[in-house]
Chain A
Amino acid sequence: MQPIIQIQGVGKTYASGFTALKSVDLEIHRGEIFALLGPNGAGKTTLISIICGLVNASSGRVLADGVDVVDDYRQARSLIGLVPQELTTDAFESVWDAVSFSRGLFGKPANPAHIEKILRQLSLWDKRRSKMLALSGGMKRRVMIAKALSHEPRILFLDEPTAGVDVELRRDMWEMVRGLRDDGVTVILTTHYIEEAEEMADRIGVINGGELILVEEKAALMQQLGQKQLHLILQTPLETLPAALHQHNLSLSDDGTQLTYTFDAHQETSGIAELLRSLSEQGIDLKDLQSQQSSLEEIFVSLVHKPEHTQ
C-alpha cells in the first residue's frame, strides 16, 4: 500500500544560514502512530511545518496520499490537521466560533453536529461559549486539537502535544489519539518525552541535528530495551577469560576487575544461575554485582550523542 506521507530528500536552510534539516527521507504508513523523537532544535517542527505548508522547503518534496504538498496544496492540505506546539489562539473568540472557523477555513460546509461531537469528545462542550482567554492552558490545548480535527483530517500532526500538560490530560490525549487511529487516522507526533513515544507509537523516528538517524518499529526498539547487563566485580583481577566461561556471553574489562554478562530479560531463563555456578567452579570470587537495564532513553541518548551516527 502506498505510504500516506512520503518525504523525499527534504532539506531546509533558513535565510539566516541555519540548516535545520539536511536531507530527510521518510515514509509514514497509513493508519499508524508515528513518533518523531528528538531533542530541542533537532528539526522536528521544521519538518512538520514543511509538510503542513508553514515553511518552504529548500530542497526535496513531500507527498501526502500521493499528491505533492506544494503543487497540489488544496488536495494535500485538506487531508491534514495540525496542532502546533505553541498555544496560539484568538483570545476574544469563543471556543465554538474558533472551532467552526477552522472547519470553514478548510473549505468544509458548516456541520454543527460534527463540531459538537468533537467538543464533547474533548470535554469542551461545557466551555463552548467561553472566550479563549478564560481557558486554562490545558483547555486551550484541547481547543487546538478540536480545531485541527474540525475538518475531519486523515492525517493529524501533533507537535509536542503534551508539553506542559498535566498527567490526566496526557492520559486523555493518548486515549484520544488511539481512538483516532482506530478510526483510520494517521497520527504523527513529535515529542521529547521518551515515555510518550514508548506508550503511543507504532514506529519511532529519531531526529537530531536535522538528520533522521533511526526509524524503527517500536517493538524492535523494545527488543533492544529488553537487553540487560549484569556487572560482576571480581575479588582478584583476571588476565584472560577462562576457557570454561566462553560459553557464557561474557566480556572482561580492560583492567580485568569486572565481567559483564549481557542477557535478554524477556527470555525464560536468564542464565545467571548457570553463570554463577561456572564462576564458583572456576574459583572466581565476587566482590559485588549489579544489574542494569538499557532504556529507550539510553538508546536515544547514545544515538543523539554519538557523532559517527550523524555523519
Chain B
Amino acid sequence: MNLNGIRAIYLFEMNRTRRTLMQSIVSPVLSTSLYFIVFGTAIGSRMGEIDGISYGAFIIPGLLMLSLLSESISNASFGIFFPKFSGTIYEVLSAPVSPFEIVAGYVGAAATKSLIIGALILLTARLFVDYSIVHPFWMLAFLLLTALTFSLFGFIIGVWANDFQQLQVIPLMVITPLTFLGGAFYSINMLPEPWHTLTLFNPVVYLINGFRWAFYGVADVHIGISIGMTLLFLCTCLVLVGWIFRTGYRIKP
C-alpha cells in the first residue's frame, strides 16, 4: 500500500480547498444559512408542524443533504476533472499508485470537505432554528456514507466529463431537482397520487428520509430501506469506478 501516495493526493486536494476557502467552504455554508433564515425563521413561523416537527427544524436534514450532495459531487468531480483537463494527470498515472489509492486520495479529500461543510451547516443552523438529534450515531453514519457515496459519484462524473459544461450538468440538472423534489422541504406523504408513488423512484428521497429519521426519529420511509438504498448506490459507484480503472475509460487511452 502506497500510503505516501494517498497522503500526497489527499493533502494536495485539501490544499486546494484551503486556497479557495471562500468558494469551497464559506459560500455553501452561507447559501444554506439563507434557507434557514427565509424558510426556518421568517416563513417557517407561519407554517404548521409536519409529523410534529416545526417547519424550520423539519427542513434541516433535507437542506444539509442538498449541500452535502452538491458539494461532494462538485468537489470530487473537479478534483479529478481538472488534472485530466490540464494534463497533470500524467503524473498520477505514471506513479506507483493503485486505482484504490488514487480514489482514496481524491474521494477521501472530497468527502472530508463535505463533512466539514456539513458540520458547519449544522452549527450555523443552530443560530436560527432549534433542533435535536435523536440518533446521533446514525446521523453521523448517514453523513459519512452520503459524503463518501456522492464523492465517489462525483469522481465518476469528473472522469466522464469532457468539458466544463458536462461537469456541471449532472449536479445542476439532475441532483438539485431530485433533492428539491425528494422531500427536502415537504413530507412526501403530503403529495397526491400519482406523485407520491413516482417520488419513490427518486433515490434522494431515501437519503433525506434516512437522515431525517436520524434527527427526529420519524420519516416517510423505513430507515432500513433508506440505508439499503444508499448502500446500493455506493456499490453501484464502486463497480463503476472499478470498471473505469479496468478499461482506462477516458483517462488512459
Task: Say if the beta carbon of B165 comes within 8 Å of chain A.
Answer: no
Which 4 A-B pairs rank lowest in CB-CB distance, beginning with the nearest? A104-B8, A88-B87, A77-B96, A74-B96
Residues of B within 8 Å of A293, CB to CB, are none
Which positions 56-88 of chain A face chain B at CB distance < 8 Å?
Answer: 56, 73-78, 80, 82, 84, 86, 88
Measured CB to CB, the nearest residue on chain B to A147 is B91
A206 to chain B, nearest CB (A): 25
Residues of B within 8 Å of A14, CB to CB, are 253
Q: Kindly state the interface size class of chain B when it binds its partner.
A: 20 to 34
Interface string of A99-125 (1 = CB under 8 A from B): 001111111110000000000000000
Task: Say if the beta carbon of B127 comes within 8 Å of chain A.
Answer: no
Task: Say if the beta carbon of A54 comes within 8 Å of chain B.
Answer: yes
B253 adjacent to A15 (CB under 8 Å) = yes
Looking at chain B's contact residues, the main secondary structure is helix
Task: Say if the beta carbon of B197 comes within 8 Å of chain A.
Answer: no
Distance A76 CA – B12 CA, assembled complex (angstroms): 24
Task: Say if the beta carbon of B95 comes within 8 Å of chain A.
Answer: yes
A104 adjacent to B5 (CB under 8 Å) = yes
On A, residues with C-beta under 8 Å from B are 14-15, 52-56, 73-78, 80, 82, 84, 86, 88-90, 92-93, 97, 101-109, 147
Measured CB to CB, the nearest residue on chain B to A80 is B94
Task: Say if the beta carbon of B235 comes within 8 Å of chain A.
Answer: no
Distance A14 CA – B16 CA, assembled complex (angstroms): 34
On B, residues with C-beta under 8 Å from A are 2-5, 7-9, 11-12, 15-16, 19, 86-88, 90-98, 248, 252-253
Measured CB to CB, the nearest residue on chain A to B9 is A105
B88 adjacent to A77 (CB under 8 Å) = no
A55 adjacent to B94 (CB under 8 Å) = no
Given contacts A73-B96, A74-B96, A77-B95, A107 and B90 within 8 Å (CB-CB):
no
